[in-house]
């Protein structure tokens, strides 16, 4: 057999395409990125510290989303897209290295400027590779160019935030995320439209990232415990934290994930793109936020076993994260056509719990989270009994060819 010769050619995926090993390697970098975000929030669990961590998470998420859509269109382990994925992986790792201490750095100093520069590099490379991959698809090329043009003002906000004093950085970078998210949404709904080559690949990519986020929540507990003297309290809290990962896994992978994948598989090609945009691209971000907040709460609890203030902050983070996670799961399963009432009830319970659980302690909050989420996972049926719901793109007129 002759060895495969290197070629820049992009290989279009078919409907049966599955996740490549290059995409798996790319995702591994996100474990470190999630650790950095969780560590940042746990170090400063004030409203501002949490907001700063979540802005970083949103930036990292939007990068991952962009490359996930590209990997669904063409193979990530062949030709020019392979080179692009390697550059993206290195760049995400570089971005992650700048996170800790980023918010205290003076304007124009290395960390914020490096962060902004690396983010711009990854977006430019993505746009160039995507345009190359879509060179035979005029409709997709128009969508890519519209989205890339809309990112220019967002990039200006990013650069301004890197150069201005640290007290202002959060607002400028939050504006970058908000503008990017809003512009992408409007252009995705009103523009020519994106393409989903393989619904199974799309679902698998998101399932794997959720698994990595859950794995990071366990890893974070281990990192926090590494410098502490072993004790019964540490062991018990560590095991409870690991059980929380199982409790978060249960409703998503037993009920929500399979329902969404079924909806994607049954949808026609145009409807696949609508579901991929609404349920996966947008609504999996708050799902991830919930997991990260719970992970940060677990880390605060372990690091501050003897600190009542830390226990209060931990309980608030865990309850808030569980509320966001449950509410997002409820919306997702409803969009897929499934039953959402138990997930809605659990979201309301945790939202109210954010007010009274911190009055107790972090251990109680973690135990309650495990019990409630496991129970919801058990009683929520995975079957779908209605049509999936998503905003129809280009609804005001005929879809372009």
Read off the pLDDT of residues 132-155 as tens digits, 9 standing for 90 and up.
988 888 889 999 998 888 888 888
Considering the domain boundaries, does residue 10 fall inside one? no
CATH number, domain with residue 283: 1.20.1410
Whether this prediction's pTM lies above 0.95 is answered by: no
Find the range with the poorest average confidence among 57-61, 287-291, 338-342: 338-342
Q: Are residues 35 and 129 in the same domain?
A: yes
Q: d(Cα 103, Cα 168) in Å, to the nearest integer? A: 10
Q: Are residues 37 and 153 in the same domain?
A: yes
Predicted pLDDT at 399: 42
pLDDT category at 306 given cuts 50, 70, 90 is: low
Q: Of the ranges 286-290, 305-309, 336-340, 341-345, which is most confident?
A: 286-290
DSSP codes joined into one string, 91-135: HHHHHHHTSTTGGGSPTTSHHHHHHHHHHHHHHHHHHHHHHHHTT
If you average pLDDT over residues 218-244, what whole number do you get? 86
Q: Are residues 211 and 328 in the same domain?
A: yes
Angle at 55 (CA atoms; ends 54, 60), nearest 5 degrees: 95
Rounded to the nearest angstrom, the gap between the alpha carbon of residue 136 and the centroid of all alpha carbons in its chain is 30
Considering the domain boundaries, does residue 213 fall inside one? yes
If you average pLDDT over residues 331-356, what whole number do you get? 89
- The encoded tokens of residue 280 equal 């996966």
Q: Are residues 134 and 82 in the same domain?
A: yes
Predicted pLDDT at 389: 61
Q: Are residues 162 and 248 in the same domain?
A: no
Q: Are residues 324 and 246 in the same domain?
A: yes
pLDDT at residue 357 tops 90? no
If you average pLDDT over residues 318-342, what whole number do you get? 91
Considering the domain boundaries, does residue 391 fall inside one? no
Considering the domain boundaries, does residue 160 fall inside one? yes
Last residue of a domain, one of 195, 219, 235: 195
Q: d(Cα 45, Cα 318) in Å, to the nearest integer? A: 11
Q: Are residues 218 and 351 in the same domain?
A: yes
Q: Are residues 262 and 361 in the same domain?
A: yes
Containing domain of residue 83, as a range? 15-195
Q: Are residues 280 and 146 in the same domain?
A: no
Predicted pLDDT at 308: 55
Q: Is 21 exposed, middle or buried (0-12, 13-18, 19+ CB in 10 A)?
A: exposed
Considering the domain boundaries, does residue 2 fall inside one? no
Q: Are residues 174 and 207 in the same domain?
A: no
pLDDT category at 395 given cuts 50, 70, 90 is: very low
CB 158 within 8 A of CB 176: yes
Residue 218's alpha-carbon distances to 214, 294, 302, 339, 351, in angstroms, are 7, 11, 12, 29, 23
Considering the domain boundaries, does residue 392 fall inside one? no
Question: What mean pLDDT is reported for the chain?
Answer: 87
Q: Are residues 185 and 236 in the same domain?
A: no
Looking at per-residue pLDDT, the higher value among 345 and 388 belongs to 345
Predicted pLDDT at 348: 94
pLDDT tens sequence across 267-301: 887 788 889 999 999 999 999 999 999 999 989 88
Last residue of a domain, one of 195, 211, 240: 195
> Which DSSP symbol is given to 386?
S
Predicted pLDDT at 112: 94
List all residues 6 or more positions away from 128 whose beta carbon is below 8 Å from its beta carbon: 84
Tally of structural domains, the chain: 2
Nearest CA among 139, 145, 115 for reference residue 127? 145
Considering the domain boundaries, does residue 305 fall inside one? yes
Last residue of a domain, one of 176, 195, 214: 195
Considering the domain boundaries, does residue 380 fall inside one? yes
Q: d(Cα 352, Cα 346) in Å, to the nearest integer? A: 10
List all residues 6 or more positions away from 298 whose beta carbon is below 8 Å from its beta carbon: 217, 220, 221, 224, 241, 244, 314, 318, 366
Q: Are residues 149 and 202 in the same domain?
A: no
- Side-chain-side CA neighbours of residue 357 (13 Å): 27
pLDDT at residue 4 tops 70? no
pLDDT at residue 207 tops 90? yes
pLDDT category at 222 given cuts 50, 70, 90 is: confident
Find the range with the poorest average confidence among 54-63, 268-277, 329-338, 381-390: 381-390
């Amino acid at each position: 057999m002759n060895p495969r010769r290197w070629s820049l050619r992009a290989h279009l995926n078919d409907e049966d395409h599955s996740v490549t090993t290059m995409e798996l390697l790319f995702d591994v970098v996100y474990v470190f990125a999630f650790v950095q975000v969780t560590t940042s929030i746990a170090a400063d669990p004030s409203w501002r510290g949490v907001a700063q961590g979540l802005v970083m998470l949103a930036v990292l998420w939007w990068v991952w989303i962009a490359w996930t859509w590209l990997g669904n269109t063409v193979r990530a382990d062949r030709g020019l897209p392979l080179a692009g994925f390697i550059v993206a992986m290195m760049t995400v790792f570089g971005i992650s290295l700048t996170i800790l201490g980023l918010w205290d750095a003076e304007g124009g100093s290395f960390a914020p400027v490096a962060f902004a520069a690396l983010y711009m590099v990854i977006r430019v490379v993505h746009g160039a590779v995507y345009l190359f991959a879509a060179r035979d698809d005029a409709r997709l090329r128009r969508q890519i160019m519209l989205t890339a043009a809309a990112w220019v003002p967002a990039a200006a906000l990013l650069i301004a935030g890197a150069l201005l004093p640290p007290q202002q950085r959060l607002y400028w970078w939050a504006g970058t995320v908000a503008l990017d998210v809003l512009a992408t949404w409007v252009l995705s709904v009103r523009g020519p439209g994106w393409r989903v080559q393989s619904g199974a690949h799309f679902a698998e990519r998101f399932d794997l990232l959720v698994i990595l986020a859950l794995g990071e929540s366990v890893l974070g507990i281990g990192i926090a415990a590494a410098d502490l003297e072993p004790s019964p309290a540490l062991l018990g809290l560590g095991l409870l934290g690991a059980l929380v990962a199982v409790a978060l896994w249960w409703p998503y992978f037993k009920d929500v994930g399979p329902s969404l994948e079924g909806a994607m598989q049954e949808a026609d090609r145009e409807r696949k793109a609508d579901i991929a945009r609404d349920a996966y691209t947008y609504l999996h971000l708050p799902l991830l936020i919930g997991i990260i907040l719970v992970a940060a709460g677990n880390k605060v609890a372990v690091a501050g076993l003897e600190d009542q203030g830390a226990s209060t902050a931990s309980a608030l983070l865990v309850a808030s994260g569980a509320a966001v996670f449950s509410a997002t799961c409820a919306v997702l399963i409803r969009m897929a056509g499934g039953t959402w009432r138990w997930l809605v009830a659990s979201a309301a319970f945790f939202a109210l719990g954010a007010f009274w659980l911190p009055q107790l302690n972090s251990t109680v909050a973690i135990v309650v989270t495990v019990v409630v989420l496991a129970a919801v996972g058990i009683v929520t049926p995975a079957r779908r009994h209605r049509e999936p719901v998503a905003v129809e793109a280009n609804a005001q007129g005929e879809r372009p060819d």
